[in-house]
């Protein structure tokens, strides 16, 4: 018998966030709206790490609005928890980008899984074709996609 093991090298991008007191509600747990903010923190971190910080994207005349977002809350988080937010590119197309997120607390408990979709527009509102107009950015996103 022969066994073949294939290991795919996947760069992991993990952003850490410490839950602040103001992010909790009257019950002492993190208000659900904060997870969406943390997703943005993770996206900003990811883009900066691959060399395409939001500032650079905007300097190129590109805006990237959120077109869809979903969160699946698995467990609560509370004040002073440290949440590790793993972000991965799910897919990238000419004018659309999808991310997936896994958030775990300092004890390794999964607190949330999430996804977001984004489009790429010019400041005039027209679609920007990353594949054609910004091939280096497009290819970099493609390289980091979990669904290459």
- Residues carrying an active site annotation: 25
Instruction: List all residues 6 or more positions away from 82 whose beta carbon is below 8 Å from its beta carbon.
Output: 16, 17, 18, 19, 105, 106
User: Distance of CA 56 to CAs 11, 76, 119, Å?
Assistant: 22, 35, 16
Using only C-alpha atoms, what is the Rg of the chain? 17
DSSP state at residue 108? S
| Residue 105 CB neighbour total at 10 angstroms | 18
Number of H helices and E strands in the chain, helices first, is: 4, 7
Report the length, in residues, of the chain.
Answer: 148
Token pair in block for residue 49 = 């790490």
């Amino acid at each position: 018998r022969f066994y073949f093991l294939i290991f795919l090298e996947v760069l992991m991008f993990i952003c850490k966030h410490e839950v602040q007191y103001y992010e909790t509600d009257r019950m002492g747990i993190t208000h659900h709206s904060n997870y969406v903010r943390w997703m943005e923190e993770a996206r900003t971190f990811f883009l900066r790490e691959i060399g395409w910080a939001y500032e650079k994207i905007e300097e190129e005349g590109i805006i990237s609005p959120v077109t869809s977002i979903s969160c699946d809350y698995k467990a609560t988080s509370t004040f002073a928890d440290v949440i590790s937010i793993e972000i991965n590119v799910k897919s990238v197309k000419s004018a659309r980008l999808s991310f997936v997120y896994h958030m775990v607390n300092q004890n390794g408990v999964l607190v949330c899984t999430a996804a977001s979709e984004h489009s790429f527009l010019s400041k005039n509102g027209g679609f920007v074709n990353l594949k054609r107009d910004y091939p280096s950015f497009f290819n970099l996103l493609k390289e980091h996609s979990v669904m290459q």
